[in-house]
């Protein structure tokens, strides 16, 4: 039954998403989420006897491992240097701003869940707030043929900031996995050091192996096999699979030299499928009663995350010496939030300790994704227009929302 449902979710999600985008101009992710909702327990799920918690976790863990590998392999050290100081500082500022404001706001309001310390739920939500959806921003830039320093800064930042988000999320989970602060430090050290060492060693190994595999198809098997093996080891040996997969990507890119396409292109082709899976699964967990009960939390998360990003990226960009046109507008272009955050929230669901916060996080992230799809796109357009980088003569062509939200 579960295999049948995965097939239905992928195909119906794809059909609903693309048709909605084509006929109504709504982002594809909306269609994906709606299809997932259709199979949630409140609608068809209970009638079909589906127990989502039982079978979705391995899928989510592998899919998230694939995305983390791609995030890790996004840039080389040389490329990071060429991005420039102001883009790096603005990225750090944006991530720090979103994290701190969401964390402070939710702690101040006393949002907590059973099984976790009072700062547990705010920490998880703050970590999820650091993630951005590059595809939504690229879609707007492409639609309006935007170009200029702000556009360059935005493209660089959205490619890089999820790496920081993965690190923060991994540290947050390691902290929360410990029973007290005394046991947290050794546990944290093991979770992170093991992930870095094993992921790093794996990256070196897979790069060496890939040199022997000239066929594209065989490299794909090796790469996916390595990611799954690493995620499995992380589960068995209790270290961060997400961080390990990201380190795998980073070191594979590092050892792979200049031309890393052979190590990433085969896996990149799976990314769309991963995001369809994440959004439809998030829809499965969508609980209207949670959304209604915590509607104000969703709004608060959206506002705090947005404000934190705008303020943080402004401070970071100014510290890095960016001109006002970039500093004043770059945070506005970073609001869209999507698949990676949804995947991370889904991952929490598999661990009993995080079950309560998982349901809250999945529903907040899914609902705020729908919000950022419209308001985030508007804010990005506003920022690019204010910086004089929008070529509006080219705006409004078909497929405006085709890739948003991922």
Stretch that binds another protein, among 78-86, 164-172, 229-237, 373-381 (CB under 8 A): 78-86
10 Å Cβ neighbour count for 240?
A: 27
Q: Binding of another protein at residue 216 (CB under 8 A)? A: yes
Of 40, 363, 372, 403, the residue at the interface with another protein (CB under 8 A) is 403
Measure Cα distances from 292 to 129, 238, 342, 346 in Å: 21, 36, 19, 20
Q: Is 327 in the site for another protein (CB under 8 A)?
A: no
Q: How far is the CB of 2 from another protein (least distance, A)?
A: 30
| Residue 135 binding another protein, by CB under 8 A | yes
Q: DSSP H helical segments within 321-391, as ranges?
A: 324-327, 339-348, 355-371, 377-386
Residues 199 and 242 sit within 8 Å (Cβ to Cβ): no
In the bound state with another protein, the residue whose beta carbon lies nearer, of 18 and 76, is 76
Cα distance between residue 404 and residue 406, in whole Å: 6
Find, among 349, 383, 380, 377, the residue nearest to 363 by Cα.
349
Q: How far is the CB of 151 from another protein (least distance, A)?
A: 9
How many residues form the binding site for another protein (CB under 8 A)?
40
74 touching another protein, by CB under 8 A: yes
As a whole number of angstroms, the longest Cα–Cα distance in the chain is 60
- The nearer residue to another protein, 227 or 297, going by C-beta atoms, is 227
Residues 177-206, one symbol each (x = binds another protein by CB under 8 A, - = not), give: ------------------------------
| Cα distances (angstroms) measured from residue 300 to each of 126, 303, 309 | 12, 5, 14
Cα distance between residue 105 and residue 92, in whole Å: 20
Choose between 253 and 318: whose C-beta lies nearer to another protein: 253
Contact with another protein (CB under 8 A): which of 26, 64, 75, 334? 75
CA separation for the pair 222, 225 (Å, rounded):
5
* Rg value, the chain, Cα: 20
Out of 22, 142, 238, 385, which residue is the one contacting another protein (CB under 8 A)? Answer: 142
Say how far apart CA 365 and CA 358 lie, in whole Å: 10
At its nearest, how many Å lie between another protein and the CB of residue 200? 19
Q: Is the dihedral of CA 44, 46, 51, 53 positive or negative?
A: positive
Distance, in Å, from the CA atom of 169 to the CA atom of 365, rounded to the nearest integer, reads: 14
Residue 391 in the binding site for another protein (CB under 8 A):
no
| By CB under 8 A, residue 258 contacts another protein | yes
> Nearest approach, Cβ of 75 to another protein (angstroms)?
4
Taking CB under 8 A as the binding criterion, the range among 54-62, 105-113, 144-152, 366-374 that sits at the site for another protein is 144-152
Q: How far is the CB of 73 from another protein (least distance, A)?
A: 6
CB of 380 to another protein, least distance (A): 15
Judged by CB under 8 A, does residue 214 bind another protein? yes
138 binds another protein (CB under 8 A): yes
Q: What is the DSSP string of 101-150?
A: HHHHHHHHTT---TTS-TTHHHHHHHHHTT---HHHHHHHHHHTT--SHH
CB of 352 to another protein, least distance (A): 33
- 145 interacts with another protein by CB under 8 A: yes
**Cβ nearer to another protein, comparing 179 with 217:** 217
What is the rounded distance in angstroms from the CA atom of residue 267 to the CA atom of residue 356?
33
Check binding of 73 to another protein (CB under 8 A). yes
Write down how long the chain is: 406
Residue 133 makes contact with another protein by CB under 8 A: no
Binding residues for another protein, rule: CB under 8 A, are 70-71, 73-76, 78-79, 82-83, 134-135, 138-139, 142, 145, 147, 152, 155-156, 158-160, 162, 211, 214-216, 257-262, 264, 268, 271, 399, 402-403
């Amino acid at each position: 039954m579960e295999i049948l449902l995965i097939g239905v979710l992928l195909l119906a999600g794809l059909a609903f998403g693309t048709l909605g985008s084509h006929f109504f101009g709504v982002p594809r992710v909306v269609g994906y989420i709606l299809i997932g909702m259709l199979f949630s327990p409140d609608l068809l799920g209970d009638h079909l006897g589906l127990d989502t918690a039982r079978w979705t976790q391995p899928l989510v863990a592998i899919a998230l491992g694939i995305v983390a590998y791609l995030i890790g392999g996004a840039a080389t050290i040389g490329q990071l240097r060429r991005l420039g100081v102001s883009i790096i500082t603005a990225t750090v500022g944006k991530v720090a701003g979103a994290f701190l404001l969401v964390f402070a706001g939710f702690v101040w309001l006393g949002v907590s869940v059973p099984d976790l310390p009072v700062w547990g739920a705010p920490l998880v939500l703050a970590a999820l707030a650091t993630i951005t959806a590059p595809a939504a921003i690229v879609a707007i830039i492409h639609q309006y043929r935007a170009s200029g320093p702000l556009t360059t800064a935005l493209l660089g930042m959205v490619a890089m900031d999820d790496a920081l988000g993965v690190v923060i999320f991994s540290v947050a989970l390691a902290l929360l996995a410990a029973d007290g602060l005394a046991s947290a430090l050794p546990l944290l050290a093991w979770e992170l050091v093991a992930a870095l060492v094993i992921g790093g060693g794996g990256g070196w190994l897979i790069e060496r192996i890939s040199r022997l595999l000239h066929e594209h198809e065989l490299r794909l098997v090796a790469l996916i096999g390595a990611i799954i093996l690493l995620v499995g080891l992380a589960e068995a040996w209790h270290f961060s699979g997400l961080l390990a997969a990201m380190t795998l990507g980073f070191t594979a890119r590092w050892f792979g030299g200049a031309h890393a396409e052979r190590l990433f292109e085969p896996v990149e082709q799976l990314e769309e499928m991963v995001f369809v899976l994440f959004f439809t699964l998030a829809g499965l967990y969508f609980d209207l009663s949670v959304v209604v009960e915590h509607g104000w939390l969703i709004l608060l998360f959206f506002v705090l995350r947005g404000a934190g990003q705008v303020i943080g990226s402004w401070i970071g960009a100014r510290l890095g010496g960016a001109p006002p046109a970039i500093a004043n507008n770059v945070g506005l272009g970073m609001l869209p939030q999507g698949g990676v955050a949804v995947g991370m929230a889904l991952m929490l669901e598999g661990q009993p300790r995080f079950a309560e916060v998982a349901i809250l996080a999945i529903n907040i992230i899914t609902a705020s994704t729908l919000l950022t799809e419209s308001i985030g796109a508007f804010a990005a357009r506003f920022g690019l227009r204010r910086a004089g980088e929008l070529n509006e003569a080219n705006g409004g062509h078909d497929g405006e929302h085709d890739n948003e939200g991922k």
